[in-house]
Amino acid sequence: MHRYSEPLQIDEVNLPKPKGEEVIIKVGAAGVCHSDIHFMHGEWQKTLPVKLPLTVGHETAGYVEEVGESVKGLAKGDVVAVFGGWGCGVCINCKGGDEQLCMHARWPGLSQFDGGYAEYMHIPSYRFLIRANGMDPKMLAPLTDAGLTPYRAVKKIRRMLNPGSYTLLFGVGGLGCYAIQYLKLMSPTNVIAVVRNEGKARLAREMGADHVINSKTEDVISAIRKITENRGVDVSLDIVASRDTLDVGFASLGKKGTLVLVGLMGETLNVPIMQSVINEHKVIGSLWGNYNELAEVIALARKQKLKTPINQFNLMEVNKATETLANGKIDGRAILVP
């Protein structure tokens, strides 16, 4: 990425020699995320300032190519998933296990570290890799963000989800496909997915959604009232978080309902005070996931319990891939394969 809002360029760059804890991986696949689109359009220049050029991509898996002299437990050819929430390792959040919440975060492809839209990637420490021999990097790459982010969110709310409860889900894209599966695997809740076209409706049902509402043809709030018999939903899991989905999600919450913010489309949340107080509503944010949660997601996928719908592009078609995603034309996750 040389300039914001311009097509990405394919450049030849030198491959560094790994020293100490560093590892060079040969990229097997890199997921294309909506965050990359926001980032590439310069929408996050204030929160994530970077010096360009930079290689995008924070959802990567591949093979160990070369290791520094103090790397332990990894050898050339090992299949690895890259945990992307790189932290300092010593602050209170890192020590607590939530390295993705580090005050000095240095995420690949979103900070001054080059990401995975490449043939090779430089990893500053083997601490950020999870060995996953026997797994296909094409299935593994999407797990590191699209699979990980909803996993953390669902873990936060699963104790609220008793039999007979309702969870409303906005966004049946890369993350949403996993979110439905986790909700069904980890809780007895009824999942109501809100989609904008028939393709996504089919996908939502395939992933296990109990009810699907097409917002293009139905009034979402009255459909939810009908499904929940006017009770409202227990949780609205918003992977889109645009002004529309936030308003509808909030209006659909029942007593003691919780709004979970995962998406980053909108800018602010309008909360009516009276309604929140008398119904004891809660709002919680959920960011990416930590290293152990990624290990759990990989363990779940190893049991072949996770379906990952993938749209594969060659690395050379990177601009076509990002454009197709930006236009909402990807069902599942887009990946780049060098």
Enumerate binding residues for Zn ion (CB under 5 A). 33, 35, 87-88, 91, 94, 102, 145
Nearest distance in Å: CB 90, Zn ion: 6
Nearest distance in Å: CB 211, Zn ion: 27
**Of the two residues 28 and 87, which places its CB atom closer to Zn ion in the complex?**
87
**Of the two residues 62 and 116, which places its CB atom closer to Zn ion in the complex?**
116
How large is the C-alpha radius of gyration of the chain?
Answer: 20
If DSSP codes are grouped into helix, strand and coil, which group holds residue 268? coil
Nearest distance in Å: CB 318, Zn ion: 16
**Of the two residues 116 and 254, which places its CB atom closer to Zn ion in the complex?**
116
Nearest distance in Å: CB 102, Zn ion: 3
Amino acid letter, 217: T
Give burial (CB, 10 Å; 0-12/13-18/19+) of 30: buried
Residue bearing tokens 């989800």: 161
Nearest distance in Å: CB 88, Zn ion: 4
**Of the two residues 182 and 250, which places its CB atom closer to Zn ion in the complex?**
182
- Residues 182, 305 contacting (CB under 8 angstroms): no
Nearest to 265 by CA among 329, 204, 326, 192: 326
DSSP 6-61: S-------PPPPP-TT-EEEEEEEEEE-HHHHHHHTTTTTTTS--PSS----S-EE
Nearest distance in Å: CB 94, Zn ion: 3
Give burial (CB, 10 Å; 0-12/13-18/19+) of 70: exposed
**Of the two residues 44 and 63, which places its CB atom closer to Zn ion in the complex?**
44
**Of the two residues 160 and 326, which places its CB atom closer to Zn ion in the complex?**
326
